[in-house]
Structure 1
Amino acid sequence: MSLTTDSALEIKVKKSTERISENMHIVANEPSLAFYRLQEHVRKAINPMVDRRVEVSKLRQELQGRCYDIDYAVQAIKAMNKAEDSFKNIQDILKNAIFLKQQLKYEESRRKKPESNSVYKRLSTHITLDLPELPELSDVVRETANRVESMMSKATH
């Protein structure tokens, strides 16, 4: 009988250990426990993940702004290259204007004659000297000579 009791006892022990193991497996894998573990993991991981996401979003916006700045700078440089011809034209026109101004100054300096040799001054001196001394007439002659002289100087300038 000891053999049958031992084999019966062995069967009962095996069944009980299987049930204990099965219960442990059920308790360990129970859905509420699994949800608790998930909640615990999410609570620990969500804040750093949100912080990283906000940081990535800010960096994306900054990068996009800098890309716009670079595009603007590239367009400005391309526009400067196109303006090179205009600047060369301006430079040529300025050189030409300076040259013409120098020519005008040279011509003016060549044409200037001393005012004492003016024909109208000489004429007015002769007119006043040759006329008899009539006070009314000499004043009119002087005034007329001065007017003619001023008109001629305005016309030459």
Structure 2
Amino acid sequence: MSFNSDSELEVKVRKASERISENMHIVANEPSLAFYRLQEHVRKALNPMVDRKIEANKLHQELQGRCYDIEYAVCAIKSMDNADESFKNIQDHLKNAIFLKQQLKYEESRRKKNDPSSVYKRLSAHITLDLPDLPEFSDVVRETANRVESMMSKATHSAN
């Protein structure tokens, strides 16, 4: 039994030694394999990560610029709130100006239809007379023209 037990013990010791040796080999080589895998991963992932970091920085700068633009626009809009009364005044003045323009246009159209002096003025503008210098005659013409103009103006005022 001792021979048999010695061979069994020897087999068991040999198996244990092989396992210990195998484990020692794995443990000894495992860090280098891990470093190899890390190096491989870093080599594959580093360039895209750097590109993403650059892109993220660029986007951050653009976003910051847009935030400044938005702040500027908000300040401009807030300052426009104070101009509300000025815009209302401008609007009122424009309404008044349009109303007055319409009134003037209406009055002008009424005068053109009812104003007989306009016919006289148009007629006198086209008539040119070469009268000799007669002092008595020119006084009579001037007086007659004044009387006609005063009658026309009275008629115009009474029509209004």
What band does the TM-score fall into relative to the shorter chain? 0.5 to 0.7
Of 1, 5, 21 in structure 1, the residue corresponding to residue 7 of structure 2 is 5
Structure 1 counterpart of 2:87, which letter? F
The equivalent residue for 1:78 is: 78
Q: Offset of 1:93 from its aligned partner?
A: 5.3
**Cα offset for 1:12?**
2.7
Deviations 1:59-93 (A, max 9, x none): 22222222222222222222222112123334455
TM-score, length-scaled by structure 1: 0.53
Counterpart Cα distance in 2 of 1:58 and 1:70: 18
Can you give the 5+ residue segments of structure 2 that lack an aligned partner in the other structure? 112-134, 137-160
Aligned to 1:25: 27
CA separation in 2, counterparts of 1:90 and 1:28? 84
Counterpart in the other structure of 1:59 = 59
How well do the aligned residues superpose, as a CA RMSD in angstroms? 3.9
CA shift digits 1:82-122 (9 cap, x unpaired): 112123334455638x86xx7xx9xxx9xxxxxxxxxxxxx
**Count of aligned residue pairs for this structure pair:** 115
Query: Residue 24 and residue 88 in structure 1: after superposition, are their counterparts in 2 closer, same or farther (change >3 A)?
Result: closer
| Whole-Å separation in 2 of the counterparts to 1:5 and 1:90 | 116
2: distance between equivalents of 1:5 and 1:66? 84
SS at match of 1:43: helix
CA distance in structure 2 between the aligned counterparts of 1:86 and 1:23, rounded to whole angstroms: 89
Amino acid at match of 1:41: H
Identity of aligned residues (%): 48
Partner in structure 1 of residue 119 of structure 2:
none
Deviation at 1:26, TM superposition (A): 1.3
Q: Distance in 1 between matches of 2:23 and 2:35?
A: 22
- Match of 1:64, as an amino acid? Q
